[in-house]
Every structure is written in structure tokens, then in C-alpha cells.
Structure 1
């Protein structure tokens, strides 16, 4: 609410001043009582915030004024308003008021019709990003106001409404605040008027000091004359400008202050020939490019009351596109050349093709193109509407050759006096490496039609001088392959009872012991006396039917990997495969687990390869009294294996007594007195074991459902075995039930039951009818014959 009230207060105060035809007052000139009064009026106002804001902007108020009013209201409500009493504070306040006047000129002349403003705005928006200098006036937040918090310039010209502060100090102390009258004079007490209009502040000081010395004719008296409150001057800005009109601005304002307040030239306005008129005479022609390009403020002179700034139409513009730092539209003066425009644009980019520039020019009938070479930039005169295009350099080199491959310094080199041939290029690259393949090298060359061709040559003979050297051309690429690039990568491999088996890079003079060390050494069960090496046979073996594909060597090494005679004499060759065997008697411990109703449950190592389930039970201290063998479960690799532990204990020689393997698990539970009924019964349940009849348990669960498949009922026993229903003649024989069993009644899968279509029913009935009729006809014929 504070923000809305601050807007309303400011604008209601504006309306009250407009009503009597006065210039709007500034926020700093309002008293606290006035602000309190206008705050009350704002609360009862019927105007919207947008309506009041639009009215204020039309009359010269700025967003800065609104912000200041907001701050004043906040300070009044918080009781932080400070009183100003001293002369220095009053002088500072008056300067501050003048500075606020300069922040935004007050337009009092009739504005340009709204249609023209709208059309100019459209053009300006389209060109502000193209015409050089327009962005300077469009940047939000830039402040270009006169600095009023400085010492008064000695060349400041006094005029009506200026205020002069005079201090007399020494043996006599007196302070005067003298305001220049409309007639141009200031008046001291006990003295006549002193004319100061048109004088500089320095000249006025001398004149006033002379009069005061007449009044204070005593030694030891000092006089200081300073400028207090400064006047407001009226400056008119007209022509092709964004906001033409008459502006009330500070008397310390300069040309650039006024130009910035007016928004700068519009789409048709000039940046290069702005006229400052005084007493109906042109006293200065202002070129903004001097300031925008170089920061030159020679044209930034002070303004006087009734000065007129005129923005004529631009005389000529050219457009610069392509590889320059500022591709924009630039205004030119008569006599300026292409070189000047490139200076305006900041010069070329590093990718610019500056040898020749294309200029598209308008003639009275049609367009034409003019090409200008680099030597003519400073002499080529431009015309209005010229469009200058700067292209990009070609993506190619005029003197580059390249060498790659088996040389010490591959890369790009300049084709010059020192590098003209292949041999010179190889020498420039510090020569070929030891692995270079000298039998064949080649040059990749770009032909005139941009196709490429390949030129092969014997590099060894060329370097020895046995064949003529080959001249190079620009863009040539010389490639020298290494021997390693022309063959399969040499490796050797090792596997078996080794710590880190795999493939390893082959090195000449490598032994088996070297390879085993690289592979991390032997595993514990490795046998070093039977190491096999498999070697490729490089000769063609297809001619002999029984010819071997590989050659196998069996070697005996010292397991400590000390160098022995056999290891030292046998050398590996590329692609050899080494196999290290494990001892036939060496095995890693294998562990089985027994849990449940045994005396010593836990994990046990398999002692022999023929150890069985019965042996495991015996090692676990035998069965407890509550052990229920029919429910024992045996797991191998996570899968349930049905075993008959009763048969195993009674007949250890039976096939049920499985041989133990690593990670086997045997679980022997107590007797489970429950039976579970699941599937297509009315009430699946778990009940106490009491009978071995399936029918009794189904009855206890409510009986079969309509979807039950009775002939497929099966029983899963506690040890994992499954027994299904059998059919004897026309009777079903359900499996017997034991404690811990699960009775499962399958149901019909409705999703798989296919319903007969109506057309199929009709066809079947028709077929049956036809069969009945045919049968009747046959019987009738038989009866007639009899």
C-alpha cells in the first residue's frame, strides 16, 4: 500500500499544480505537512494508479521523483526526518534541488502528434540495434546528468534567479544571500544594486568584493563569494530527435546533457551535424562520433538560456556487414572514405578477407557492384545507401605442407625456400624414426579441380639418392607409416593356475618366466613341471590332411621363478599361448551345511570326493529325537532336491544317498503338525493334521469351487516331493496326506477357456441335424429292402 500511496501523493500534488498552470514542484520542495495532507487525499482518490502515472509522465515527472516521494513517506512514518538549519546545509539543499531539476527536462511545448511519434518509434526500434550510436541512448540505467556537487566553475555566467552567497570574515563577520533580480542585479544593504548578469562568477566576485571593501573599510577583513542556488534555463530541442520540445534544465548543463535527456536522434536524425544555435546563429556543429569513438568532449560546451539544439536529417549513411568488429549502419560526412568507415567499425576481425571489398551501390536506375582492393580504401569515396560486405578468408593455406607418421616432428610446415621437396620436408621434421617403413610412402595432393590424388614412392631409395627427389606443392600431405602399423599387434597370452592371466604385449627375448612374473606368479595349486606353450605354425598346413595346426612345447620351470637352463634357453614368439596346469590332488576346501534337528549343526568341509549325505549326518552327531525325516529338505545350488532321508538312514547304499558337493545344504526340521489347503476351494486354510484323506481336508476348507479341477489335485510333502491324483478305472485315487503337506487344488484358467461363437453353434447343430436325417434315410432304406 505504501507504494500505491506514494504514487498517488506525488501525482495528486502534480495535478494541484497543473490546475494553476505552474511548473510541477519537486519532491524536495514539499514540507512534511504537505505530504501528510496529500497522503490523506490519495486515500480518497478515485483515480487508478496507471491513470495518475500516465498523467505525471506527460507533465515531466520521472520514476526518480516517485522513488523519492516513497522515501519521504517512509521517513515521515518512522520519525527520521532531519531538520536543516545551517547555511552550508541550505546551500547543499539548493544545489540538490537544482540537480533534481536537471535529472529530467520538463517538456512544456506541444508534443509531436501521436501518429508521428508511433511511426518514429517503430523505425527507431528497427534501427536502434543497427545505426551506430543509437544504443547509447537506449541503454536503461545510464545517467548522463550534470554534476552539481562540484565547486562553481570560474567561467560560469550569472543570470536572473541565481543565488550568490557572500561571507565576510575576520574582524567583522557577516553573511549575505543575494539573489540576482530579473533586471540582473544584486542588492547589498546600505549599498546600491550591483549589475552581475552576463558576468562570470569570478568577475562578479571581484565586483561585489570591491563594493564590500568600501562598506567595511578596515584591515583584516576577508570576503568569499560562492554560488548558492543556481537558476533553471530553458533550452529548445527540435528536429529529428526522439523527444523534441522545450526543456527546463540546470544552468550548469552542457550540450551532451541536453542531447541525452532528449533521447538522441531518431531514425532520420543526424549524429554528425547537430547544430547549437544561440541568438539565431549557429555557434557550434556537434559531431557525436568524436565522443562515441574517442571520448572527445570538445563539443560538450555549456548551454545558456534560450539556446536551441537542432537535429537535421542525416545526409548519408552506409551499411557495413561481415567480418568487422561492429557490423552496423554508419553516418558519413562528405569526403569520408572507406578507410574512415572501417575505423568507425573498429577494424577487421581476424577472419576478414581484406584484400578485396565488395560495395553494392544504388544508381538512378538499378544496382551495381564495385570491388575495391586494399590499396584503394583511403581513396574510395562513399555514397548514401552503399552496402559494404567484408567476406571471410578461405579455409585453406597458401604455403602449407604437412608430414605425418614415423618422423620425429610430424606437423605442418611452411612451403618456402628451405622446404621445397620431400627430402627437405623429412629433414625439417628431424628425420624418420627407427620404426619407419621405408619401402613405401605416399603424398596426398589436391588437384586443380579440388579432387585428390595419391602419389606413392620408395622412401628408402629417395633418402639414399637412388631416385629423384619429389617437388612439393601447397596442401601436400606426406604420410610415412611405421612397421608396427603394418602388422598385427604382437601379444602373448597366459592362462590356468596363474594369478592374473590374460594377454600381454610381446617383447623380443621374452621368456616364460618373464611372462609368469608379469602375470602375477603361480597360484598355490600350480604345477610348474608341466607348462605348455602353444605356438602358431606360420607355414601353410592345408596341403597335408594330418598336419598339425599348432606346435606344442612342454617345459619344466622352477616354481620359485629363479632362472634355470630350460627357461633361459626357451624364448617366446608373438602369439604364443602359455597354459599353467593345476595339481590333480590340489583342491580348495568345499563346505556343506547341515541345520535343524542334529546334535552339532553347522558347516562341514567335505573330506573325500565320495562323502555322502549319511556321512554328513553322522559327522553332525546324529539325529535328535524330534527330528522329522520325512520333512527334511536338501538344497543344491539354491534349488530344492527331494530326498527320502528315511531311506537314506536305513539303506545308506541306496541311490537316494547323494554324493556331497560344495555349498550343499541339508535342513532337518521338527515334525510339522499342520496341513495347508490352497487353490480352488471355498476357504483356503491351514488345519491340524488328523487324517491322511485329501477329501477330509477339502471338506474342512469348504469344498471344491465350481472352477476346481478335481482330477488334478496334488500334494506337496514337507521334503519337496509331489504326489498327484491317479485314476483307477472310473475312480479317483487321491494321494495320502502327511504332516507338513500342502494340498493344492488347481482351477480352470478362464482366460484360456475359449467360448464358442454363435455361428459355430449354428454350424454344429446343422451338422448334427444333417447326420440325423442321413441316418434316418439309411435306416428307412434298409427296412424297405428287408
Structure 2
């Protein structure tokens, strides 16, 4: 029956792929005649590539169907990969399976055995030969003769199955075990060579041809050592594919399955009894796996496991290494595909019950073993600024003093001995309540009413002391960190008729934030919980905001001022849910603001300043100038100005980077100057601003309010010693410093420096005055005044 032109073209396309990927000895597919292959071979490489592309076959560059079909490789080597492709090329050309299969195969237990990242394969050429090794054509024996004759003979079994032994003739060895062959040679030598003894050992082993088929990474014919086992052959073939079975690897010999190898026996039990040695002509066949189960959670080896068929949950647990110590097997979750629902269905099973272990494991199952809860029965916990935080055993009648009985022994050095808290579960819904107590009273008067009793699951919170008016960041973080889960729980348990039991405070307290609403809590209680007031707190009028619900359901905010001053009742105001307390700061409070006065003043040093204080007032407080002082040359620096200068330099650096990058992208410049640009940018980014602010100090001291600026925290003023000198720098022939003489003009000082150089711009002369100001001028119109 003749093929149509279209069918013939399709067969030719398939033929191109077959010729590019076939191994020696493979027969032609049905319908592909030698004439078709001859037609393929007669095509040019370009025609072959075009034909392959027409039928969806991607041939690597340079791969064509040539007339020369490669033969078997030399004994002991692996057959070459078709068309010069690397193993990676073949793997890259292999179509991906479904995403689900790929995900599972990546994590399937046993796949790492054939990982190419960490190769554990070693050749078998030097492996010791067992006594039971059966000799065949190509095996080499080494016979060492000694005694009457001394010689070493290298005997190779020929195609007829025998070796030629000098003086003994032909000896048939093929088919014998190594032990039998050795005994035979020793007997013949003893009988026929009187006075000669022999030592027989194995030399080079013969090569055998095996075929790797099915789901192996690189299927095909391989020439391997006669000692090669199933696993070693799989290593040479690159292992199994993503869907290849690791538990049903078959060895087929003369059309029959002679052995089945399960790699799990090797990996989990160390059993290699089924890892048999291959014989020439064997086919190692790897079928697709038939089932997997995904094991998650608290097991020693949570992975995806292949099912060979017939496994139970007990078998799966054994494969996964059994439970971890944190496992809670009684509430294990088995997720299984439901045929009736068409959706996965979750079932709770008790894996601590032996009867549940006989449940069959099916393909697609997911088994998850949960973790035990963090709650420990008959326990209380101690947290915060203590030396030994953690869980402790609870007994009836236990008090806080049983956990904290000695301040030096049980508390951290920064522990707040004032307010501490107990967080207690109050009902079956695990709602909590917070109980406050005075820690100092517990230590001073244990086992009294000041020493609260503890209940099972109580948490005792001890806060760190915030010692500075400027909030101690670590202590504040510790306090808020301890309270964060408490506040979250209180917020989540709020219900209709049970408003959230929290209050908040901001402003002049050491640790502002949200706090639990304690039973009977007052404003004073909240302030103590927040670490106390800062020195800047304005006690006369703190603001309390309270939210109330009107009859129409709207929430109304009510604001009122309360006094926290001693003897006033404001501190005892009872708090309600969601109250917010604002502690104002004393107006213009700046107790640490200061300015540094240095140089030629009578009392140099650091001076505290008040808001609105002027520079002249600070100089007066410093005793005024000394006789050697030069107020005209005063150097005044300000931290805010320095920060602005540094920011301008950084912005300039960013502008340079942006401009250079834009030019690179538009090819307006090259990368040759990149190193220099980077150095400039780095220099600009590291600039620290000088912060100098030009002032007219004599005018300020004489009462000029415009010149007498207000000082700020961090300012610094230096009054230098009066210097009667004039320095001339730049493009003059002799730069230098000259004694000030009032009658000399600008040109006079230039003449004292030997005049201009040829490069000088005599129209661009400028003078830097002693106070840092710059003056540009016309020559011959300036006379120095000594400033």
C-alpha cells in the first residue's frame, strides 16, 4: 500500500528525528522504508532542518541525517549521545510534564539519589571480583607462574570461549565462575607443568551491552563493565525522569522480567539484594510511577513518597521516619480525592490508634501531622525584665513571690519595681483579664494581700525601667513588646456590650502607647503603667478624651482638662474603655539646649540657653571679650546649617549620577569616565557641612537687633585672637602673609607679593574678610581697615 504525499512527508519528518536520536541496533518504525531513509540522507542539511520544522521537530544546529550510522562504542565505554548532544541538551529538549507532576517529582523521596549536583557514582572497573563472577568473552585473566618457571601471562577469553595457555594449549573458560576457572587452571598447571605453581587473578573485565529504556533521563544502548549493577547503570543513564518509578525498576532478560529493584529498600534498609549484576543484552526498564502520597507536618522526613501498591498509613509513617517529639498524631489530617464530590475531602484520623494505621494509602493522598499546642498544663510563665524567664510548674496556692522573691536574684538590673501585671484566662473562651500589682510590695511583704495568688496558665509581666526623659528605646520596646499580644487579644475579644478594655496615653510620659484597662484604674495608674511622667510634663492641665455613645448610636468625643498637680483630684479620675490621656509638655521646655562659647571670652564653655535668647546675651553671660579677642573675626557654626550643606552636597551627587546615567543610556557619552565620576560622587556623599553662618558680632553687641540672631541648641561660636596680618594668595608671583599697615592699599599688598602672574585675572580679585564674608571690588578703590 503506497503512502500519500502528505503521509510520506510526515514519515520523512519522523525519520529525521529517528536518525538524529536512534541508537545502533534499533529497527526502523513501521512504514519507514530504507528508500525513504535514503531520500532523507540525500537531502541537504538545510532541507532536513526545514522538513523537521515543518512537522514540529526541533533539531539542534548542525544535526542532520547522514549516511554514516555510528556503531557500538569500544568495550567499557558508554555509547555516544546521538548527534553530539550533551545530556543537558537532551534534558532541556524533553517536554515538561504537568505542573502538578513536576512539583511532586522535584520533592519525591529518592530523587536525590541520582542528583547531578552531588554525584556519588564511581566506576566499577577496580571493584573486587567475587568468586561467583561468571566469565565470558572479553574477560582477561592474569596468571603468575613461579617455581621452575617464572612468567606472567595475560589471557583473554576469545570468541570461542577459551584461552590459549602456553605449553598447555586451549582451555575453555567461558561460562565458568571465576572460582571454577581458577581451580581448573591451577589443576592443569600442577598436572602438566611439573615444579610450577600458579596464581590466577582477574584482569580487565569484559564490556557488556545493556539498554536503558522507559523513564530514564537518557535512554539508549550503553556499553558498561560486566560488574555493573542496576543502580550503576541508572547512574550512567542520568537517573530517572520526573515521572519515573523508583520502586519498580525492572530488569528484562530474553523477554522476561528477571528482577525488580526498589530503591527504597536500598535507601531505607540498606538492602541491595535485588541490585543484581547485569548481563549483556539486558534491558533496564523504568515505568512511570503509579502513585504518590504527600506527607507534611511533624514527621522526621516530610516529603513526597512513591507508593508501590498496597501500602498502609503505618507503612507511610515508617517511610517518613515516624513522628517528631512535637507531633500530635491524634488530629492528623488525611486529604483524599473524592470521586463523588469531585473535590479533595479532608478527614481527621488518629494515627496514635493502631487500628488507623491499617488504612490504605492511595495515590494523591496528603497526610499532615499537626504540632502540639504551645500551652503547657499546670504551668505559669514569667516574662520581661527577669533573670530566668520561661514556664514554671504551678501548684494550688502559688503566689508571685514564689517566682520573684529576691530583687537581686530574680530581677534584671533595669526591672521596674513599680507596676507589674498578671495576664489571666478568665473563661472557657480563653478571654483574658489583666491584674496589676506593685512588685516592690511583693518583695517587701511576701505571702500577704500585697502578694497576688496565681492560677494555672497565668503570665506574669515585669517591665523594664525607662530611666531617661529622652525615652530609652530598648526599655520602651521591651514594654510595648510584652504588651502587644495582650492588647491584640483584648481588642479581639471585644463584643457587643463588652467594649475593648484598653486605654492609651501620649505626650510627656516615658513610654507612651496603649495599655490594658485595669480594674479600678485611674489616671495615676495609667501614668505609672507608662513608666511615669517626664520632667517636661505640664501638670496643670492634661487632656482626657472619652468616647460615649449617644442615644442615636453616634459616638461622641468629650474632651476635658484635668490637673495632675499634687493635691489635686485629677490623678484619681477613674478611666473608662478607650479613654486617651494626653500629657502636655511645659511650653518652651528645653532644659538641655546649649551653645558652646570658645576662644577669647572671659569664661568660655557650654551654656544652657532658653528659647528666644540672643547671641549678645550669651556673650555677656560668658563675661564678654578679652583684650586680645577679635569679635570681627568670630566663627559661628550651626548644626542645622551643616546638615543643609551636607544634604545639598548629597543632592548634587545624585544629580551628577542621574545626568551621567542619562547620557550613558542615550549614548551621549562612554563609560571611560565612570571611575572618575564615581570618585566625585563618593566624595560629595561623604561631605560633612561646615555649618558656618556669617555674622556681624560687633553690630550685635552694639544693640543692632537685626544682627543679634537668636541662638539654637548645638550652636558654637569661636572668638579668635586678633591677627594684624593680611594674606595674599592665588595668581601672584609670591604668595604670603604681610603685616597689616593701615595706609597700604590693595595694589600695595599685591606689589608686596611681587605682582600678578601671567595667568592672573586682575578683574576678578576678591577679598575674604576676617568674619568669612566675601567682597568683590574695583582695584585702587579699596583700602584695608584691619577687618
TM-score, normalized by length of structure 1?
Answer: 0.47
Larger radius of gyration: 1
TM-score, normalized by length of structure 2?
Answer: 0.47
